[in-house]
Structure 1
Amino acid sequence: MGPGSNNSFPAEKRVAVVTGGNKGLGLEICKQLAANGVTVVLTARSEERGAGAAAALRQLGLSEVLFHQFDVSEPSSAAGLADFIKHKFGKLDILVNNAGILGVTFDFGNLDLNKAIEGKSANETLEWLMQHTVETAENAEECLKINYHGNKKTIQALLPLLQSSPDGRIVTVSSVFGQLSFFSGEKLKEELNDFSKLSEERIDELAELFVRDFKDGELESRGWPARADAFAAYKTSKALQHAYTRVLARKHASSSSPLRVNCVHPGYVKTDMTLGTGELTVEEGAAGPVALALSPPGGATGVFFIQTEPASFV
């Protein structure tokens, strides 16, 4: 039992936090973890939707699911979540960073989405969606705020509790769009890929530089993902998540209480985020994050997975 705990929660029982757990992929991750005997704290920004989602899982017989309100974009919210976990359980074994946004709006004009993508393959559908996005500076800033800064602050707030676990692990739900092949600048790619020299402070600086370059129209000249190719902020936020994953994994690899930190692309999943398009069900998409969360002790750290297979960061 960790310091500050005031109950008799069994030490051998695993506890997980899942951000953005009220629907889609996050909800399915909660469901699969709970089905594997994990006590799950389902978090969501909306009290009503989050509490409703947790209640729905309990009605399925998954009694070890509880809800806690959490807004990944609010730093004070992370502190409140950490305090709740500390006093309720005294430790945290699994953190699944699932909350995130695309950082764009879609503009289909007068077109009907379902008719427009009828007969298209998954890749063709994604390509069509990308051609119908609008990405403003405000979108980009919000995307970085949630996907990078928000997830990082969540990790930092919960880190002491993860270190109280004998086998703590962090799983960040990411994307192949975070691979550095989407960056045109060799210098930038090299820096983001050299995790032995990267620091958390430098990744923060790069996040701020991206937002500034977006506003100044300097994305291409600096070598960031091109705005014209769609999802520039999303791609950058995921690449920064990857860099932070590797820095964190390196930092904690040799500690007395090893922490395993990985990121995973769940696949092109049919969720609200993809407007119901995609080639995988949420059950199939959740398989990768859940496998990482429940993998045996002593496994990989600092690795990017595509579903359940290790993949390149580049």
Structure 2
Amino acid sequence: MRKALVVGINDYPVNPLDGCVNDAVKVSHVLKTHEDGSINFHVKLMTSPPQTITKPVLRELIEELFAHKNEIALFYFSGHGSITTTGGYIATQDAAKYDVGISMDDILHLANDSPAKDKIIILDCCFSGAMGSPVHAGGGNIARLGDGLTVLTASRSTESSIELDGGGLFTSLLVDALRGGAADLLGNITPGGIYSYIDKALGAWDQRPIFKTNVSRFTSLRQISPQIPLETLRKIPVYFPNPQKDMKLDPTFEDTNVDIAVEKNVKTFKDLQKLFSVGIVRPVGEEYMYFAAMNSKSCRLTSMGYQYWRLVTEGKI
């Protein structure tokens, strides 16, 4: 089972953040299903308002999230964050001067001890980069992540998180990534893909997200339709039995050559053009596949194409 706890808290007594509830609702909505409408995460959405989210309430929910042996346990928080001499905190409704909310170190500890296969923590709050770098780590401020744990935060431990149009800039990009912007060719959206998408969307002077992970493989957080049909990807070794060898083309591959076009070659060429569109194949000596065929040139696999050739030949696709 995939479980997600999504929390948005607006009414922090010192610094209200009006967009936090809306951000949480958006994240909850996109996590619930895959693109085809099939069930993805079983989401518990907690927002204040209208609910009352105190420190004991949120602590109990976080403990419950990480207590069981699920496939994935995901915690998302949008609200106010604080940094003190004892570390980072996410603020709850009952925040007070010397009791802001729940310690990021405590959340890290619960996630590290969780029997869940994969643990994901996503924070859109000020000073969120303190997550994963406990102050009292027995040897300095060093990130200590247990097996299968990934942390993605909006800002560094010294920064306030940036807002855009009443919501968090980070969450806006996160939702776009989950909707498909971060998908690979197979339609998988992984934490690494999400980080890469957000990082590329930001300029050189923009606030950078923080990504920390201790995993041996990336799990997919959401699935969308592949960019090209899987049956087309699986034909790569058919068209390129030797991945180092070019495939010869000629005008019989192009269907506009009505008098000489060969049906089998035309079908092959349509697949090759799809592979070209996603960077798996490139023409040799020409800019476009059309001219490679018309001028009897050839095409070859790109470096990414070789990677997918290997995945298909090893039965991984």
| Shared fold (TM-score, shorter chain, > 0.5) | no
Alignment TM-score, normalising by the size of structure 2: 0.37
Which structure features the higher share of helix residues?
1
Alignment TM-score, normalising by the size of structure 1: 0.38
Q: Which structure: larger Rg?
A: 2
Which structure features the higher share of strand residues?
2
Q: Which has the higher contact order (CA 8 A, sep 6+)?
A: 1
